[in-house]
Structure 1
Amino acid sequence: MEAFEEAVTALHTAVLTAWNDRDAAAFAARFAPGGHLIGFDGSQIPAPEIEAHLRPIFSGHATATYVWKVRDVHALSDRVALLRAITGMLPPGAEVPHPALNAVQSLIAVHGPAGWRVALLQNTPAQYHERPDLAESHTAELTPP
């Protein structure tokens, strides 16, 4: 694995780990100043507002925990990379991802003075309309043995 692939994968891991830790500041800190978060519900949050957006979610709700697998990381230039991943979410107390919360994530990372940061993180619900085999496969791949 090339150094940029490792760094961008580590960035993605840091973002989702911050979510799992319910740490709004750590989550937001991984974004470039002009970055954006597109949530599972289509919410569009610019980087300067991410921490304030997440803080009440983490303090007022028992959030599900991410599980994920990175599919690939591609260099788009020497300072820009695209990471694609599948994700699932474990509701509080669950050991298996809830299929309705499965998503496909796209992360565009940019390299600058502060290292690799998120320019865009987009969560797209993985509903696989009329293809239950794909939904089952997605969930199974993220389910611990």
Structure 2
Amino acid sequence: MTTLAPQTDQGQQHIQTLYHQLLSYWNSRDAAGFASLFAEDGSAVGFDGSTMNGKAEIFASLQQIFAHHPTGAYIGIVREVRQLVGGAALLRAVAGMVPPGAEGLNPAVHTIQSLVAIQEHDSWSIALYHNTPAQFHGRPELVEQLTSELEQALLARRQAD
């Protein structure tokens, strides 16, 4: 589940909803649902730098990951949604992960996430989803600040559930 940024436009709401669905499919370990959100030629870059190109490869890669590896659950906070050119938008977010069997976040896997969405006809899909580690080398106070913010979002989600 994600914390949504304040809304100024219906298009931005669609982009935030797309991001929320992406994390929800990850958290439920649903490779088909996750891949369904991408454009046919969409790409995803994982936390470890692995790249998946096209819906079929995204589905196949995640199906293998979910079948053979325990995965944590994301909590995300949208920082910005910005319209680019007609029919394209950028979403920037931060996310933390609760490891399988754990109650709290693991700061070592905090991430900065970027999503580029495109509008085709009346629907939005993901052209690019990118994760990068939020390690803030040499600035532990930034890790602590992000952890605190994500813990508050996690607590709010648990209270809402």
TM-score by length of 2: 0.87
Quote the offset at 1:113 in angstroms.
3.0
Report the CA distance between 1:5 and its aligned residue.
Answer: 0.6
Deviations 1:12-48 (A, max 9, x none): 0011100001000000000001110000000010023
The counterpart of 1:74, out of the listed 62, 70, 82, is 82
Structure 1 partner of 2:49: 42
The one of 7, 10, 13 equivalent to 2:17 is: 10
Tell me what 1:61 maps to: 69
Structure 1 distance, partners of 2:122, 2:36, is 11
Question: What residue in structure 1 maps to residue 35 of structure 2?
Answer: 28
Offset of 1:95 from its aligned partner? 2.3
Aligned length: 145
Mapped partners of 2:75, 2:102: distance in 1: 12
Whether 1:136 and 2:121 are equivalent positions in the alignment is no
Q: Does residue 91 of the first structure (1) align with residue 99 of the second (2)?
A: yes
In the TM superposition, structure 1's runs of 4+ consecutive aligned residues that sit over 6 Å from their partners are none
Give 1:78 deviation, angstroms: 2.5
Q: Percent identity?
A: 45
RMSD of equivalent CA atoms: 1.0
1:92 is displaced (CA, Å) by 1.1
Gaps of 5+ in 1: none
Instruction: Quote the offset at 1:62 in angstroms.
Output: 1.5
Task: Name the SS for the 2:137 alignment partner.
Answer: coil
Gaps of 5+ in 2: 1-6, 156-161
Distance in 1, matches of 2:97 and 2:115, equals 18
- Work out the CA distance in 2 between the residues paired with 1:114 and 1:19: 25
Give 1:99's aligned amino acid.
P
